[in-house]
Amino acid sequence: MQHILFLTGCINPNGMPFTSITDDTVRKEQYINAINYYIHKTDFPIVFAENSGTDISSLFLESISEKRLEVITFNGNKKKEKGKGYGEAEIIEYAINNSRFIASLYKDFSIIKITGRLIVNNIAELAFKKFILQESDSIIVAYNSDFSLPDSRIIIAPLDFYRSFLLHKEDINDFSHCYFETVLSNCIIHNLEHHYYPFFIEPKITGQSGTTGELYKPYNKDFQRRLKYLDYVYSQILYFDKNFSRIRFSYTKRIIYTVIQLLLKIANKTSSTISFTSEKTFKM
């Protein structure tokens, strides 16, 4: 499975509602830093699509000439009354319709959509490390614990899924509480072509939320955290398949995942007990 890295951008939000970082100089610097990171730290072809008409291609002429990077700029955000989620969908639509990189790739590839100001420090692991028996054309995104909203900062999915999502673009309206993530979730649940999976590896994100201004910092990696994360995502896989999926897993796959989750719960309990005993002994 090939991958293309797709970074969405809006350098000058120009009064876009629900946007906390409004300084276009700050935003521009964040996009430049992220693009440079992905150029130097990954081997993916990169598409950066920007919707405020601010062209930064002159800063990346070498990468563009080497066909590592494609920069697309257009004047979007014409429907501010629908909010920035609608603007994000417009960027996806424009890139799919106008990117030479996307048009030139074969059918068997996935698009890694990332909010363009963010740095995903383990993006290669997220793209290539999979669950046992996971299909290569899965829709991969993180959900919150009650499956009410997916995390749209990082989405990995085949091109045809993005096209099906865009069929519902006009439903997005932040003011009516029908967010980008609301429509994304509905499309994941109702799709009949691709299985849903969370990320096998927990995403490590550096950057700042454009909505709340929250700073994202990478977590500290340790064995117990890894066990807890795997337990959590396997439970999500099974819960989604049972309660939401329109294309259910085979009986064999469900049994395998159930056994793995049971083993993870035992490992988590054992690990926690050992940790508690060691801590108690040390204090004594």
Q: Is the domain of 127 the same as that of 180?
A: yes
**Structural domain boundaries, residue 267:** 223-283
- For 202-224, b/e burial (b = at least 16 CB within 10 A) is bbbbebbbbeeeeebeeeeeeee
Distance in angstroms (rounded) separating the CA atoms of residues 147 and 107: 30
Give backbone dihedrals phi and psi of 133, rounded to 5 degrees, phi first: 70, 10
The closest of 210, 109, 196, 191 to 153, measured between CA atoms, is 210
Instruction: Please tell me whether the overall predicted TM-score, pTM, comes out greater than 0.85 for this model.
Output: yes
Q: Is the domain of 105 the same as that of 241?
A: no
Give backbone dihedrals phi and psi of 245, rounded to 5 degrees, phi first: -65, 140
Distance in angstroms (rounded) separating the CA atoms of residues 126 and 54: 30
Taking CA atoms, 42 is separated from 28, 39, 92, 127, in Å, by: 21, 6, 21, 11
Torsion of CA 42, 194, 240, 187, to 10 degrees: 90
Q: Is the domain of 227 the same as that of 271?
A: yes
Sign of torsion, CA 238 240 245 247? negative
Please state, for a pLDDT cut of 70, what percent of the chain lies above it.
94
Number of structural domains in the chain: 2
Q: Is the domain of 202 the same as that of 269?
A: no
Q: Which of 174, 191, 216 is the last residue of a domain?
A: 216
Q: Is the domain of 199 the same as that of 273?
A: no
Cα–Cα–Cα angle for 40, 157, 45, rounded to 5 degrees: 25
Q: Is the domain of 119 the same as that of 135?
A: yes
Q: Is the domain of 180 the same as that of 252?
A: no
141-181: per-residue pLDDT in tens? Answer: 999 999 999 999 999 999 999 999 999 999 999 999 999 99
Q: Which long-range contacts (CB under 8 A, 24 or more apart) does 24-29 make?
A: 24/52, 24/54, 27/117, 28/54, 28/56
Please return the burial class of 252, using the count of CB atoms within 10 Å of its CB with bins 0-12, 13-18 and 19+: exposed
Q: Which of 199, 216, 233 is the last residue of a domain?
A: 216
106-151: per-residue pLDDT in tens? Answer: 677 999 999 999 999 999 999 999 999 999 999 999 999 999 999 9
Q: Is the domain of 200 the same as that of 254?
A: no
4-54: per-residue pLDDT in tens? Answer: 999 999 999 987 777 778 889 999 999 999 999 999 999 999 999 999 999
3 state SS of 34? helix
Pairing state between β 69-73 and 46-50: parallel
> What pLDDT, on the 0 to 100 scale, is given for residue 106?
65
Q: Is the domain of 210 the same as that of 244?
A: no
Q: Which of 191, 216, 241 is the last residue of a domain?
A: 216
- The type of residue at 274 is I
Look up the CATH number of the domain holding residue 62. Answer: 3.90.550.10
Those residues with Cβ within 8 angstroms of residue 122's Cβ, 6 or more apart along the chain or in another chain = 201, 203, 204
Over 80: is that where the pLDDT of 279 sits? no
Q: Is the domain of 186 the same as that of 259?
A: no
Q: Is the domain of 70 the same as that of 15?
A: yes
Distance in angstroms (rounded) separating the CA atoms of residues 76 and 89: 11
Q: What is the CA radius of gyration of the chain?
A: 20
